[in-house]
């Protein structure tokens, strides 16, 4: 943790550290840092030239891979990178992982919203809500039987804060829920159990970080083990999924349906086949983004900055080898 401490004189950091903010609209509200940091705003194009002179980088625009792409292999570099997101895949690169730079994330902001979004999806699917909206447009009264959610089974892949929040939410709705993580521990299954759990799940929920081990883990073979009546939901990262394999699994009815909030390429281009796959619900990476989150993300960073600038150790520190904040 010594890397997170600033050189100090008379108990105060000096000079005021340079905070480089990679942003786009909307801007973070950093008024509370006035006089305590030299704040430099940059876009992706200007990042590389400014990185060497920055003490801290705030990755406010977490849709940009600019930090990963511009990270200096040698020479002076920032001591701390904070990303206003749960995932850190867009900032991590081997050079950053090997460096002494500390990486923190926005743990604590997105968990509940994402869990609620997953609950909204599985309930909407169980209750056939998309079809109801279609029939309303046609002014057609067509009674159907829908499904009970209680008593169904879910397999949540990813045992970090988001995955655990999803599991809690589904359990609150009386869904029998198994959680799968990188290593087995109390209440959490290891990867060896994944196929078996997927094979009997009504809902497979992807909420894992994107790492070397999870890249493309939901492929044709894994969709093949799922129940024909089951649904797949991805609120983690797009590249967890082999998208062509999902399209094929849906069109061959290997599985009953899916919902994707994240994609290998975002924004999803208008000509992507994913928009039009029957049984696939597409949403624009909004699962975690509830009203008020920008204020929360800004306040969280300011609080971390205040800890850092007085030499207290940071929280939400990412294990850079694993690619996420280790769980409790």
Question: Under the rule (CB under 8 A), what is the footprint of its own copies?
Answer: 112-113, 116-117, 119-120, 123-124, 126-127, 129-130, 132-133, 135-136, 139-150, 169, 172-173, 266-268, 270, 272, 275-276, 281-286, 289-291, 293
* Catalytic residue (one of 147, 285, 293, 322): 285
Closer residue to its own copies, CB minimum distance, 101 or 152:
152
Known catalytic membership, residue 237 = yes
Closer residue to its own copies, CB minimum distance, 79 or 231:
231
Known catalytic membership, residue 296 = no
Cβ partners under 8 Å of residue 241, min gap 6: 206, 216, 218, 234, 260, 264
The pair of three-digit structure tokens given for residue 93, joined into one six-digit string = 């690169």
Q: What DSSP string describes 57-75? A: EEE--TT--HHHHH--SSS
Q: How far is CA 229 from the centre of its chain?
A: 27
Nearest distance from C-beta of residue 31 to its own copies, angstroms: 21
Burial class (CB in 10 A: 0-12, 13-18, 19+), 283: middle
Nearest distance from C-beta of residue 204 to its own copies, angstroms: 19
Known catalytic membership, residue 41 = no
Can you tell me the distance from the alpha carbon of 264 to that of 215, in angstroms, rounded to the nearest whole number?
10
Long-range pairs, 185-193, Cβ under 8 A, ≥24: 188/159
Closer residue to its own copies, CB minimum distance, 155 or 297:
297
Closer residue to its own copies, CB minimum distance, 295 or 319:
295
Whether the upstream peptide bond of residue 202 has omega within 30° of 0, thus cis, is no
* Catalytic residue (one of 69, 266, 303, 306): 266
Can you tell me the distance from the alpha carbon of 143 to that of 121, in angstroms, rounded to the nearest whole number?
21
Active site residues: 237, 266, 285
């Amino acid at each position: 943790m010594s890397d997170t401490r600033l050189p100090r004189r008379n108990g105060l950091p000096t000079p005021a550290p340079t905070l480089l903010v990679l942003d786009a609209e909307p801007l973070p509200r950093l008024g509370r840092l006035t006089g305590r940091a030299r704040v430099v705003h940059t876009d992706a194009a200007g990042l590389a030239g400014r990185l060497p002179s920055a003490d801290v980088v705030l990755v406010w625009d977490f849709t940009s891979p600019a930090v990963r792409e511009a990270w200096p292999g040698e020479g002076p570099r920032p001591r701390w990178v904070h990303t206003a997101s749960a995932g850190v895949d867009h900032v991590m690169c081997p050079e950053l992982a090997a460096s002494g730079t500390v990486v923190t994330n926005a743990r604590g902001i997105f968990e509940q919203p994402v869990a609620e979004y997953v609950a909204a999806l599985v309930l909407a699917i169980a209750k056939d809500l998309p079809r109801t909206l279609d029939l309303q447009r046609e002014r057609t009264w067509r009674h159907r039987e829908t499904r009970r959610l209680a008593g169904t089974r879910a397999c949540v892949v990813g045992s970090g804060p988001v995955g655990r929040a999803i599991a809690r939410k589904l359990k609150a709705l009386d869904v029998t829920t198994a959680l799968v993580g990188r290593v087995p521990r109390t209440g959490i299954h290891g990867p060896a159990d994944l196929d078996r759990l997927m094979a009997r799940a009504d809902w497979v929920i992807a909420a894992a970080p994107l790492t070397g081990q999870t890249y493309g883990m939901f492929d044709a073979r894994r969709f093949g083990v799922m129940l024909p009546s089951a649904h797949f939901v991805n609120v983690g990262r797009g590249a967890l999924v082999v998208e062509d394999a999902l399209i094929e699994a849906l069109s061959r009815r290997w599985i009953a349906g899916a919902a994707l909030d994240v994609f290998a390429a975002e924004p999803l281009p208008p000509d992507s086949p994913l928009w039009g796959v029957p049984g696939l619900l597409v949403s624009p990476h909004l699962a975690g983004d509830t009203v008020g989150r920008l204020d929360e993300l800004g306040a969280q960073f300011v609080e971390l900055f205040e800890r850092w600038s007085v030499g207290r150790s940071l929280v939400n520190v990412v294990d850079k080898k694993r690619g996420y904040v280790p769980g409790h």
